[in-house]
Structure 1
Protein backbone atom coordinates (compact mmCIF):
# COMPACT_ATOMS: atom_id res chain seq x y z
CA UNK A 1 0.00 0.00 0.00
CA UNK A 2 2.86 2.39 0.80
CA UNK A 3 4.42 1.58 -2.58
CA UNK A 4 1.16 2.36 -4.40
CA UNK A 5 0.54 5.58 -2.45
CA UNK A 6 4.06 6.88 -3.01
CA UNK A 7 4.42 5.57 -6.56
CA UNK A 8 7.48 3.47 -5.68
CA UNK A 9 7.55 0.53 -8.09
CA UNK A 10 10.42 -1.07 -6.17
CA UNK A 11 8.33 -1.33 -3.00
CA UNK A 12 5.40 -2.83 -4.90
CA UNK A 13 7.72 -5.40 -6.51
CA UNK A 14 9.25 -6.23 -3.14
CA UNK A 15 5.80 -6.69 -1.59
CA UNK A 16 4.83 -9.22 -4.27
CA UNK A 17 8.11 -11.05 -3.66
CA UNK A 18 7.44 -11.26 0.08
CA UNK A 19 3.78 -12.23 -0.37
CA UNK A 20 4.75 -15.08 -2.70
CA UNK A 21 7.38 -16.25 -0.21
CA UNK A 22 4.91 -16.17 2.68
CA UNK A 23 2.47 -18.23 0.62
CA UNK A 24 5.07 -20.95 0.08
CA UNK A 25 6.01 -20.95 3.77
CA UNK A 26 2.32 -21.34 4.62
CA UNK A 27 2.14 -24.32 2.27
CA UNK A 28 5.15 -25.87 4.04
CA UNK A 29 3.45 -25.43 7.43
CA UNK A 30 0.22 -26.90 6.04
CA UNK A 31 2.18 -29.90 4.75
CA UNK A 32 3.53 -30.55 8.26
CA UNK A 33 -0.02 -30.82 9.59
CA UNK A 34 -1.47 -32.78 6.66
CA UNK A 35 1.42 -35.27 6.76
CA UNK A 36 0.19 -36.52 10.14
CA UNK A 37 -2.91 -38.05 8.54
CA UNK A 38 -2.92 -41.84 8.52
CA UNK A 39 -2.95 -43.94 5.31
CA UNK A 40 -6.36 -44.59 3.77
CA UNK A 41 -7.83 -46.51 0.86
CA UNK A 42 -6.68 -43.92 -1.67
CA UNK A 43 -3.31 -42.81 -0.28
CA UNK A 44 -2.04 -46.19 0.86
CA UNK A 45 1.36 -44.86 1.95
CA UNK A 46 -0.13 -41.90 3.80
CA UNK A 47 0.57 -38.21 3.25
CA UNK A 48 4.22 -38.00 4.32
CA UNK A 49 5.38 -37.25 0.78
CA UNK A 50 3.40 -34.03 0.89
CA UNK A 51 6.27 -32.57 2.93
CA UNK A 52 8.75 -33.62 0.24
CA UNK A 53 6.52 -31.98 -2.39
CA UNK A 54 6.31 -28.79 -0.31
CA UNK A 55 10.09 -28.76 0.05
CA UNK A 56 10.60 -29.24 -3.69
CA UNK A 57 8.10 -26.48 -4.47
CA UNK A 58 9.77 -24.15 -1.98
CA UNK A 59 13.23 -24.88 -3.38
CA UNK A 60 12.23 -24.69 -7.04
CA UNK A 61 9.56 -22.00 -7.33
CA UNK A 62 10.97 -19.56 -4.82
CA UNK A 63 14.65 -20.04 -4.09
CA UNK A 64 15.92 -21.00 -7.53
CA UNK A 65 13.68 -18.34 -9.06
CA UNK A 66 15.11 -15.82 -6.57
CA UNK A 67 18.65 -16.74 -7.62
CA UNK A 68 17.76 -16.40 -11.30
CA UNK A 69 15.88 -13.11 -10.86
CA UNK A 70 18.74 -11.57 -8.86
CA UNK A 71 21.20 -12.55 -11.59
CA UNK A 72 18.94 -10.95 -14.22
CA UNK A 73 18.55 -7.83 -12.08
CA UNK A 74 22.33 -7.57 -11.67
CA UNK A 75 22.83 -7.96 -15.43
CA UNK A 76 20.18 -5.34 -16.14
CA UNK A 77 21.78 -2.88 -13.69
CA UNK A 78 25.16 -3.46 -15.34
CA UNK A 79 23.88 -2.91 -18.89
CA UNK A 80 21.63 0.06 -18.12
CA UNK A 81 23.87 1.52 -15.40
CA UNK A 82 20.82 2.24 -13.23
CA UNK A 83 22.48 1.72 -9.86
CA UNK A 84 21.21 4.30 -7.40
CA UNK A 85 20.84 4.78 -3.69
CA UNK A 86 17.22 3.73 -3.05
CA UNK A 87 16.53 4.81 0.55
CA UNK A 88 12.92 3.64 0.48
CA UNK A 89 14.04 0.09 -0.37
CA UNK A 90 16.62 0.06 2.43
CA UNK A 91 13.90 0.45 5.08
CA UNK A 92 12.11 -2.57 3.61
CA UNK A 93 15.35 -4.56 3.33
CA UNK A 94 16.40 -3.90 6.94
CA UNK A 95 12.94 -4.80 8.28
CA UNK A 96 12.89 -7.94 6.15
CA UNK A 97 16.39 -8.87 7.34
CA UNK A 98 15.44 -8.59 11.02
CA UNK A 99 12.29 -10.68 10.57
CA UNK A 100 14.14 -13.35 8.59
CA UNK A 101 16.96 -13.54 11.14
CA UNK A 102 14.28 -14.27 13.75
CA UNK A 103 13.05 -17.09 11.51
CA UNK A 104 16.59 -18.44 11.13
CA UNK A 105 16.92 -18.46 14.93
CA UNK A 106 13.71 -20.52 15.30
CA UNK A 107 14.99 -23.07 12.75
CA UNK A 108 18.67 -22.79 13.78
CA UNK A 109 18.99 -26.57 14.16
CA UNK A 110 18.55 -26.85 10.38
CA UNK A 111 20.83 -23.94 9.46
CA UNK A 112 23.24 -26.04 7.40
CA UNK A 113 23.60 -26.42 3.64
CA UNK A 114 23.93 -30.22 3.79
CA UNK A 115 21.94 -32.16 6.37
CA UNK A 116 21.19 -35.85 6.88
CA UNK A 117 17.44 -36.26 6.54
CA UNK A 118 16.11 -38.89 8.94
CA UNK A 119 12.47 -38.12 8.17
CA UNK A 120 10.34 -35.98 5.86
CA UNK A 121 9.81 -33.32 8.53
CA UNK A 122 13.58 -32.71 8.65
CA UNK A 123 13.59 -31.97 4.92
CA UNK A 124 10.62 -29.61 5.19
CA UNK A 125 12.07 -27.73 8.18
CA UNK A 126 15.40 -27.47 6.36
CA UNK A 127 13.67 -25.90 3.35
CA UNK A 128 11.93 -23.35 5.61
CA UNK A 129 15.27 -22.48 7.23
CA UNK A 130 16.98 -22.11 3.86
CA UNK A 131 14.05 -20.02 2.64
CA UNK A 132 14.40 -17.42 5.37
CA UNK A 133 18.20 -17.68 5.23
CA UNK A 134 18.25 -16.97 1.49
CA UNK A 135 15.86 -14.06 1.96
CA UNK A 136 18.16 -12.76 4.71
CA UNK A 137 21.13 -12.95 2.33
CA UNK A 138 19.14 -11.03 -0.27
CA UNK A 139 18.19 -8.29 2.20
CA UNK A 140 21.75 -8.06 3.50
CA UNK A 141 22.98 -7.73 -0.09
CA UNK A 142 20.63 -4.80 -0.72
CA UNK A 143 21.77 -3.06 2.47
CA UNK A 144 25.43 -3.63 1.58
CA UNK A 145 24.90 -2.34 -1.97
CA UNK A 146 23.25 0.81 -0.62
CA UNK A 147 26.11 1.45 1.79
CA UNK A 148 28.74 0.94 -0.92
CA UNK A 149 26.85 3.22 -3.31
CA UNK A 150 26.73 5.93 -0.64
CA UNK A 151 30.53 5.66 -0.46
CA UNK A 152 30.78 6.19 -4.20
CA UNK A 153 31.70 2.61 -5.16
CA UNK A 154 30.84 2.03 -8.82
CA UNK A 155 28.76 -1.01 -9.84
CA UNK A 156 28.22 -1.89 -6.17
CA UNK A 157 24.65 -3.03 -6.87
CA UNK A 158 25.81 -5.28 -9.70
CA UNK A 159 28.51 -6.85 -7.53
CA UNK A 160 26.28 -7.42 -4.49
CA UNK A 161 23.33 -8.82 -6.45
CA UNK A 162 25.63 -11.15 -8.38
CA UNK A 163 27.22 -12.46 -5.17
CA UNK A 164 23.82 -12.93 -3.52
CA UNK A 165 22.50 -14.80 -6.59
CA UNK A 166 25.47 -17.17 -6.52
CA UNK A 167 25.20 -17.67 -2.74
CA UNK A 168 21.48 -18.53 -2.89
CA UNK A 169 22.09 -20.99 -5.74
CA UNK A 170 24.90 -22.76 -3.85
CA UNK A 171 22.82 -22.93 -0.65
CA UNK A 172 19.70 -24.39 -2.28
CA UNK A 173 21.20 -26.78 -4.85
CA UNK A 174 21.82 -29.74 -2.44
CA UNK A 175 18.22 -29.55 -1.19
CA UNK A 176 16.88 -29.36 -4.74
CA UNK A 177 18.83 -32.47 -5.73
CA UNK A 178 17.74 -34.38 -2.61
CA UNK A 179 14.02 -33.67 -3.04
CA UNK A 180 14.20 -34.33 -6.78
CA UNK A 181 15.83 -37.70 -6.09
CA UNK A 182 13.03 -38.72 -3.70
CA UNK A 183 10.26 -37.64 -6.08
CA UNK A 184 11.96 -39.45 -8.98
CA UNK A 185 12.26 -42.57 -6.77
CA UNK A 186 15.99 -42.98 -7.01
CA UNK A 187 17.81 -45.66 -5.00
CA UNK A 188 18.04 -44.63 -1.30
CA UNK A 189 20.95 -42.24 -1.01
CA UNK A 190 22.07 -43.59 2.38
CA UNK A 191 22.60 -47.12 1.03
CA UNK A 192 25.59 -47.72 -1.31
CA UNK A 193 24.85 -49.32 -4.66
CA UNK A 194 27.47 -51.96 -3.87
CA UNK A 195 25.40 -53.04 -0.84
CA UNK A 196 22.34 -53.64 -3.04
CA UNK A 197 24.44 -55.60 -5.54
CA UNK A 198 25.88 -57.72 -2.74
CA UNK A 199 22.43 -58.56 -1.37
CA UNK A 200 21.21 -59.41 -4.86
CA UNK A 201 24.11 -61.81 -5.36
CA UNK A 202 23.41 -63.43 -1.98
CA UNK A 203 19.76 -64.01 -2.87
CA UNK A 204 20.61 -65.36 -6.33
CA UNK A 205 23.18 -67.71 -4.76
CA UNK A 206 20.57 -69.49 -2.64
CA UNK A 207 20.14 -73.14 -3.56
CA UNK A 208 16.35 -72.77 -3.69
CA UNK A 209 16.45 -69.72 -6.00
CA UNK A 210 16.61 -70.12 -9.76
CA UNK A 211 16.69 -66.44 -10.71
CA UNK A 212 15.91 -62.93 -9.44
CA UNK A 213 13.87 -61.38 -12.23
CA UNK A 214 13.22 -57.91 -10.83
CA UNK A 215 14.78 -55.78 -8.11
CA UNK A 216 13.56 -52.26 -7.34
CA UNK A 217 14.30 -50.05 -4.32
CA UNK A 218 13.50 -46.42 -3.67
CA UNK A 219 12.93 -43.89 -0.90
CA UNK A 220 9.29 -43.14 -0.18
CA UNK A 221 10.31 -40.29 2.13
CA UNK A 222 13.62 -39.64 3.90
CA UNK A 223 14.11 -42.36 6.47
CA UNK A 224 11.71 -44.84 4.88
CA UNK A 225 13.06 -47.05 2.12
CA UNK A 226 10.80 -49.49 0.28
CA UNK A 227 11.39 -52.08 -2.40
CA UNK A 228 10.15 -55.10 -4.32
CA UNK A 229 11.72 -58.35 -5.52
CA UNK A 230 10.53 -61.01 -7.94
CA UNK A 231 12.16 -64.39 -7.40
CA UNK A 232 11.91 -67.64 -9.33
CA UNK A 233 11.99 -70.54 -6.88
CA UNK A 234 12.87 -74.04 -8.01
CA UNK A 235 9.91 -76.39 -8.12
CA UNK A 236 9.22 -78.30 -4.93
CA UNK A 237 11.26 -75.95 -2.73
CA UNK A 238 9.78 -74.25 0.34
CA UNK A 239 9.04 -70.54 -0.14
CA UNK A 240 8.96 -69.77 3.58
CA UNK A 241 12.67 -70.17 4.21
CA UNK A 242 13.54 -68.08 1.15
CA UNK A 243 11.15 -65.29 2.15
CA UNK A 244 12.45 -65.24 5.71
CA UNK A 245 16.07 -65.01 4.54
CA UNK A 246 15.35 -62.24 2.00
CA UNK A 247 13.37 -60.13 4.46
CA UNK A 248 16.05 -60.41 7.13
CA UNK A 249 18.80 -59.60 4.62
CA UNK A 250 17.20 -56.41 3.34
CA UNK A 251 15.90 -55.35 6.76
CA UNK A 252 19.49 -55.27 7.98
CA UNK A 253 20.27 -53.05 4.96
CA UNK A 254 17.62 -50.53 6.05
CA UNK A 255 14.66 -51.48 3.82
CA UNK A 256 11.61 -51.13 6.08
CA UNK A 257 8.93 -52.12 3.56
CA UNK A 258 9.78 -55.01 1.22
CA UNK A 259 7.42 -56.88 -1.09
CA UNK A 260 8.67 -60.24 -2.39
CA UNK A 261 6.88 -62.10 -5.16
CA UNK A 262 7.82 -65.75 -5.68
CA UNK A 263 7.08 -67.91 -8.71
CA UNK A 264 7.93 -71.58 -9.26
CA UNK A 265 9.75 -72.99 -12.27
Structure 2
Protein backbone atom coordinates (compact mmCIF):
# COMPACT_ATOMS: atom_id res chain seq x y z
CA UNK A 1 0.00 0.00 0.00
CA UNK A 2 1.44 3.38 -1.00
CA UNK A 3 2.12 6.04 1.60
CA UNK A 4 -0.66 8.28 0.24
CA UNK A 5 -3.25 5.48 0.26
CA UNK A 6 -2.17 4.46 3.75
CA UNK A 7 -2.52 8.04 4.97
CA UNK A 8 -5.96 8.33 3.42
CA UNK A 9 -7.07 5.01 4.93
CA UNK A 10 -5.96 6.07 8.41
CA UNK A 11 -7.73 9.38 8.01
CA UNK A 12 -10.98 7.69 7.00
CA UNK A 13 -10.79 5.50 10.10
CA UNK A 14 -10.43 8.62 12.22
CA UNK A 15 -13.40 10.28 10.53
CA UNK A 16 -15.54 7.22 11.24
CA UNK A 17 -14.45 7.21 14.87
CA UNK A 18 -15.29 10.89 15.25
CA UNK A 19 -18.77 10.41 13.79
CA UNK A 20 -19.81 8.71 17.02
CA UNK A 21 -18.59 11.52 19.27
CA UNK A 22 -21.02 13.94 20.91
CA UNK A 23 -18.99 16.79 19.50
CA UNK A 24 -15.84 16.16 17.49
CA UNK A 25 -14.73 19.73 18.13
CA UNK A 26 -14.59 19.36 21.89
CA UNK A 27 -13.29 15.80 21.85
CA UNK A 28 -10.40 16.24 19.42
CA UNK A 29 -9.47 19.87 19.81
CA UNK A 30 -10.62 20.44 23.41
CA UNK A 31 -11.77 23.85 22.26
CA UNK A 32 -13.33 26.46 24.48
CA UNK A 33 -14.21 30.05 23.75
CA UNK A 34 -14.42 32.97 26.16
CA UNK A 35 -16.49 35.86 24.75
CA UNK A 36 -15.56 39.50 25.30
CA UNK A 37 -17.60 42.49 26.45
CA UNK A 38 -18.73 42.84 22.82
CA UNK A 39 -21.60 40.50 23.73
CA UNK A 40 -24.09 41.84 26.26
CA UNK A 41 -25.06 38.31 27.32
CA UNK A 42 -21.57 36.78 27.19
CA UNK A 43 -22.03 35.16 30.60
CA UNK A 44 -25.24 33.44 29.51
CA UNK A 45 -23.88 31.66 26.44
CA UNK A 46 -24.05 27.86 26.43
CA UNK A 47 -23.69 24.89 24.11
CA UNK A 48 -26.93 23.74 22.51
CA UNK A 49 -25.73 20.80 20.43
CA UNK A 50 -29.21 19.63 19.48
CA UNK A 51 -29.64 22.89 17.57
CA UNK A 52 -26.41 24.85 17.02
CA UNK A 53 -22.80 24.03 16.03
CA UNK A 54 -21.45 27.01 17.98
CA UNK A 55 -19.76 26.59 21.35
CA UNK A 56 -21.73 29.48 22.87
CA UNK A 57 -25.35 30.46 22.14
CA UNK A 58 -27.95 32.77 23.65
CA UNK A 59 -31.47 33.37 22.36
CA UNK A 60 -33.64 36.20 23.62
CA UNK A 61 -36.42 34.57 25.73
CA UNK A 62 -38.87 37.40 24.96
CA UNK A 63 -41.60 35.93 22.74
CA UNK A 64 -42.32 39.36 21.25
CA UNK A 65 -38.72 39.53 20.01
CA UNK A 66 -39.09 36.05 18.51
CA UNK A 67 -42.20 37.19 16.66
CA UNK A 68 -40.37 40.24 15.29
CA UNK A 69 -37.53 38.04 14.04
CA UNK A 70 -39.98 35.68 12.36
CA UNK A 71 -41.35 38.59 10.32
CA UNK A 72 -37.96 39.99 9.32
CA UNK A 73 -37.13 39.68 5.61
CA UNK A 74 -33.93 41.73 5.36
CA UNK A 75 -30.50 41.57 6.94
CA UNK A 76 -27.63 44.06 7.11
CA UNK A 77 -24.17 42.65 7.80
CA UNK A 78 -22.19 45.39 9.51
CA UNK A 79 -18.43 45.96 9.15
CA UNK A 80 -16.64 43.37 11.27
CA UNK A 81 -14.89 44.62 14.39
CA UNK A 82 -11.39 43.53 15.42
CA UNK A 83 -10.68 45.73 18.46
CA UNK A 84 -11.44 42.83 20.83
CA UNK A 85 -8.83 40.46 19.37
CA UNK A 86 -6.66 39.08 22.15
CA UNK A 87 -2.83 38.98 22.15
CA UNK A 88 -1.40 36.14 20.10
CA UNK A 89 -0.26 33.06 22.02
CA UNK A 90 2.20 30.32 21.05
CA UNK A 91 5.97 30.45 20.73
CA UNK A 92 6.13 29.26 17.11
CA UNK A 93 3.62 31.82 15.71
CA UNK A 94 5.26 34.66 17.67
CA UNK A 95 8.71 33.81 16.31
CA UNK A 96 7.81 32.93 12.72
CA UNK A 97 4.93 35.33 12.05
CA UNK A 98 5.15 38.01 14.74
CA UNK A 99 2.41 39.72 16.71
CA UNK A 100 3.03 43.02 14.92
CA UNK A 101 2.47 41.39 11.54
CA UNK A 102 -0.67 39.66 12.78
CA UNK A 103 -2.11 42.93 14.09
CA UNK A 104 -1.28 44.71 10.82
CA UNK A 105 -3.33 42.13 8.90
CA UNK A 106 -6.37 42.12 11.18
CA UNK A 107 -8.23 44.83 9.22
CA UNK A 108 -7.99 42.83 5.98
CA UNK A 109 -9.17 39.67 7.76
CA UNK A 110 -12.14 41.60 9.16
CA UNK A 111 -13.03 42.83 5.67
CA UNK A 112 -12.75 39.30 4.31
CA UNK A 113 -15.07 38.06 7.06
CA UNK A 114 -17.79 40.55 6.19
CA UNK A 115 -17.41 39.87 2.46
CA UNK A 116 -17.71 36.11 2.99
CA UNK A 117 -20.80 36.37 5.22
CA UNK A 118 -22.50 38.66 2.70
CA UNK A 119 -21.64 36.25 -0.11
CA UNK A 120 -22.96 33.19 1.71
CA UNK A 121 -26.24 34.87 2.73
CA UNK A 122 -26.79 36.19 -0.79
CA UNK A 123 -25.93 32.91 -2.52
CA UNK A 124 -28.02 30.64 -0.28
CA UNK A 125 -30.27 28.31 -2.31
CA UNK A 126 -33.38 29.16 -0.31
CA UNK A 127 -32.47 32.46 1.37
CA UNK A 128 -34.56 33.69 4.24
CA UNK A 129 -33.18 37.23 4.15
CA UNK A 130 -32.45 39.73 1.44
CA UNK A 131 -29.05 41.28 2.16
CA UNK A 132 -29.05 45.10 2.22
CA UNK A 133 -25.90 47.20 2.01
CA UNK A 134 -26.94 49.83 4.54
CA UNK A 135 -28.84 49.76 7.86
CA UNK A 136 -32.59 49.63 7.31
CA UNK A 137 -35.43 50.16 9.79
CA UNK A 138 -36.94 46.89 8.54
CA UNK A 139 -33.69 44.93 8.46
CA UNK A 140 -32.06 43.01 11.29
CA UNK A 141 -28.35 43.71 11.70
CA UNK A 142 -25.65 41.08 12.09
CA UNK A 143 -22.69 42.42 14.05
CA UNK A 144 -19.52 40.33 14.13
CA UNK A 145 -16.28 40.68 16.06
CA UNK A 146 -13.03 38.75 15.68
CA UNK A 147 -11.93 37.46 19.08
CA UNK A 148 -8.72 35.48 18.48
CA UNK A 149 -6.42 34.80 15.55
CA UNK A 150 -3.22 32.78 15.41
CA UNK A 151 -1.95 32.55 11.79
CA UNK A 152 -0.66 29.34 10.22
CA UNK A 153 3.11 28.79 10.27
CA UNK A 154 5.32 26.63 8.04
CA UNK A 155 7.21 25.36 11.07
CA UNK A 156 4.06 24.19 12.80
CA UNK A 157 2.79 22.53 9.62
CA UNK A 158 6.06 20.66 9.11
CA UNK A 159 6.14 19.39 12.68
CA UNK A 160 2.54 18.15 12.50
CA UNK A 161 3.06 16.44 9.15
CA UNK A 162 6.04 14.50 10.49
CA UNK A 163 4.12 13.39 13.57
CA UNK A 164 1.04 12.34 11.55
CA UNK A 165 3.04 10.44 8.95
CA UNK A 166 4.87 8.31 11.51
CA UNK A 167 1.87 7.81 13.82
CA UNK A 168 -1.77 8.36 12.90
CA UNK A 169 -3.55 11.22 11.17
CA UNK A 170 -5.00 13.47 13.85
CA UNK A 171 -2.44 12.67 16.55
CA UNK A 172 -0.77 16.04 16.04
CA UNK A 173 -4.15 17.77 16.29
CA UNK A 174 -4.48 16.47 19.84
CA UNK A 175 -0.90 16.60 21.08
CA UNK A 176 0.51 19.66 19.30
CA UNK A 177 -2.19 22.33 19.62
CA UNK A 178 0.33 25.16 19.85
CA UNK A 179 1.49 24.44 16.30
CA UNK A 180 -1.90 25.03 14.66
CA UNK A 181 -3.54 28.19 13.47
CA UNK A 182 -6.77 29.15 15.20
CA UNK A 183 -9.48 31.76 15.06
CA UNK A 184 -12.42 32.73 17.29
CA UNK A 185 -15.43 34.90 16.51
CA UNK A 186 -18.45 36.32 18.29
CA UNK A 187 -21.61 37.83 16.91
CA UNK A 188 -25.04 39.23 17.65
CA UNK A 189 -28.23 39.68 15.66
CA UNK A 190 -29.82 43.06 16.44
CA UNK A 191 -33.44 44.22 16.23
CA UNK A 192 -33.36 47.58 14.37
CA UNK A 193 -35.82 49.62 16.45
CA UNK A 194 -34.90 48.66 20.01
CA UNK A 195 -31.25 47.80 19.43
CA UNK A 196 -31.71 44.62 21.49
CA UNK A 197 -30.24 41.24 20.60
CA UNK A 198 -32.28 38.42 19.11
CA UNK A 199 -29.37 36.00 19.24
CA UNK A 200 -25.73 36.01 20.37
CA UNK A 201 -23.05 33.41 19.67
CA UNK A 202 -19.34 32.69 19.95
CA UNK A 203 -17.17 29.98 18.46
CA UNK A 204 -13.55 28.95 18.02
CA UNK A 205 -11.89 26.75 15.42
CA UNK A 206 -8.47 25.12 15.50
CA UNK A 207 -6.77 24.47 12.15
CA UNK A 208 -8.14 21.27 10.64
CA UNK A 209 -6.16 18.25 9.55
CA UNK A 210 -6.57 18.12 5.76
CA UNK A 211 -5.71 14.68 4.36
CA UNK A 212 -5.40 15.60 0.67
CA UNK A 213 -3.69 18.79 -0.56
CA UNK A 214 -3.79 20.93 2.63
CA UNK A 215 -3.67 24.15 0.62
CA UNK A 216 -4.84 26.28 3.54
CA UNK A 217 -1.64 25.46 5.44
CA UNK A 218 0.49 27.35 2.93
CA UNK A 219 -1.09 30.72 3.70
CA UNK A 220 -1.02 32.49 7.10
CA UNK A 221 -4.76 33.24 6.91
CA UNK A 222 -5.73 29.98 5.15
CA UNK A 223 -7.12 28.29 8.25
CA UNK A 224 -8.96 31.47 9.23
CA UNK A 225 -10.60 31.77 5.80
CA UNK A 226 -11.62 28.11 5.99
CA UNK A 227 -13.30 28.61 9.39
CA UNK A 228 -14.97 31.89 8.39
CA UNK A 229 -16.60 30.22 5.39
CA UNK A 230 -17.93 27.44 7.61
CA UNK A 231 -19.27 29.90 10.18
CA UNK A 232 -21.10 31.89 7.51
CA UNK A 233 -22.76 28.75 6.14
CA UNK A 234 -23.67 27.49 9.60
CA UNK A 235 -25.19 30.79 10.73
CA UNK A 236 -27.17 31.20 7.52
CA UNK A 237 -28.62 27.72 8.02
CA UNK A 238 -29.28 28.32 11.72
CA UNK A 239 -31.24 31.50 11.05
CA UNK A 240 -33.13 29.97 8.13
CA UNK A 241 -34.26 26.70 9.68
CA UNK A 242 -36.85 25.93 12.36
CA UNK A 243 -35.91 25.58 16.01
CA UNK A 244 -36.12 21.78 15.93
CA UNK A 245 -33.55 21.42 13.13
CA UNK A 246 -29.98 20.52 14.11
CA UNK A 247 -27.26 22.44 12.27
CA UNK A 248 -24.27 20.11 12.27
CA UNK A 249 -20.75 21.09 13.19
CA UNK A 250 -17.83 20.25 10.92
CA UNK A 251 -15.16 17.63 11.66
CA UNK A 252 -11.63 18.64 12.71
CA UNK A 253 -10.34 16.21 10.05
CA UNK A 254 -11.40 16.64 6.40
CA UNK A 255 -10.36 15.02 3.14
CA UNK A 256 -9.62 18.23 1.27
CA UNK A 257 -10.15 21.97 1.25
CA UNK A 258 -13.46 23.27 -0.08
Task: Please say whether Structure 1 and Structure 2 have the same fold, judged by a TM-score greater than 0.5.
Answer: no
Greater share of helix: 1
**Which entry has the higher C-alpha Rg, 1 or 2?**
1
With structure 1 as the length reference, what TM-score do the two structures score? Answer: 0.19
Higher relative contact order (CA 8 A, sep 6+): 2
Greater share of strand: 2
With structure 2 as the length reference, what TM-score do the two structures score? Answer: 0.19
